[in-house]
Every structure is written in structure tokens, then in C-alpha cells.
Amino acid sequence: MARQLDEQIVQRYPVGQRLRVLDVGMGQGTQALRLARAGHQVTGLEQDSTMVAAARESLSAEPEGIRERMRIIEGDGRDTGVHFLPGSFDVVLCHGVLMYVEEPDPLLAGLARMLAPGGLLSLLVRNGDALAMRPGLAGDWAGALGAFDTTAYRNRLGLDVRADRLSTLTATLAGIGAPLQAWYGVRVFTDTASDGTEAPADVEALLACEERAGRTDPYRGVAALLHLCGVRG
């Protein structure tokens, strides 16, 4: 996903331009720190205090220049309008968040308002069109049958959450003024790997396969996750 995001940034901004980035639901700050190391000015917004503490600990170990380029705010992603002015960011990330939001449209509209004209909105969501893949590949036929006609599922943490369909999000992004410009699949071949599985010796070959499949039909359509990139008009 990081390679996909970098591809979109390079296509839209001059090399070396320092971008204003907002990472909503940043978790422990993996993407936020990566972009700060690349020279961008990054703001991370996260409501989970444990994740905020982990992100601040990671940031404290970075060189001073990187620490100065990143700030962390504890807060709800649905309250971006409380913290920031409209048009304040060139790039807004919202990765792995929508599945926990029962009504995502207001959140998405708020994120779009944060973008400057031409700004990039990057979403990572659970693929509602491929929910039967994981149980089906595991031989759970009852679970696979039940997944075809729903967007609800139970994740690996045991939480009941929701997925998004590409067609629905395409319409939503058009409606909020950040129409879909590109989309990718994420975890096409590796979704059934157990948590904590060690990377194989040929990890570069694995990444090459995932990256190729993530941009190629029909493979990307059955990925566990979808990476959608909208651009503010």
C-alpha cells in the first residue's frame, strides 16, 4: 500500500515538494512516520490513547528534524472540523478506519473538506465485494455462503465490523467532490496468512506479486482490502 500511495503522490506533486499530510486514525503512526521521514509535514489524528502513546514513543526516537515535522493529536476522526480549517492539507489518509464507522459518509465528507484543491484522499477499506474469499479458501462453506449478501463481518480481533463496496464508495467520493482517480487491491494472495507469520525468504518476490495483482484485473477485485484514491476538484 505504501508503494501505491507513493505512486499517486509522485504523479500529482513535484519531486521534493513538502506536502501537508493528515493521517486520520493513524494507529501507531507507521505511515505518518514514513511520510515525515520523506520530508513531509505530517499531522496524525488518533482517538485510541494506547495507539497515541505508541506513536509518541516511536516519534521520540526519531532525529530532531523528523520530530519537528510531525505532530500527534488525540481525537476522533469525525471531528476534523474542530481541529483544522478547510483546505489545510494536500494529502489526507484514512486507512483501516471506515470498517469501524457505522455511517461513513459524514466522516468522508469531513475528510474531503480538509483537502486543498487537487489534494489526494487515500482510503484503505475492507472489500465488501470479496468477503466470501477468506472463509471460502479456509473451507468454511457456510461462512462463505453467508458472506455473499452482506457487508458485515467479524474481524480477527473478534469485533463485528463492516466492509465497503467499490461501487458505493465511488458514488460517495463523487458526491463529496473528491472523485475516484485510482484504486488498488491489497492482500490479494496473503490474506489467509496467520497473524504473526514471519516474512518468507523471498519476500521481495511476494511483494512484487502482490503489487502486480493489486493493479491488475481480475485479481484486484478479490483482494481483502481496497486502496482508493480520490482527488479534490
3-state SS assignment for residue 30: helix
Round the CA-based radius of gyration of the chain to a whole number and report it: 18
Task: State pLDDT tens for residues 96-106.
Answer: 999 999 999 99
- pLDDT number for residue 193: 85
> Could you tell me the pLDDT band of residue 108, with boundaries at 50, 70 and 90?
very high
Peptide bond connecting 218 to the previous residue in cis, omega within 30 degrees of 0: yes
pLDDT of residue 182: 98
pLDDT of residue 196: 77
| DSSP strands (E only) in 47-201 | 70-74, 89-95, 115-126, 152-154, 160-162, 180-186
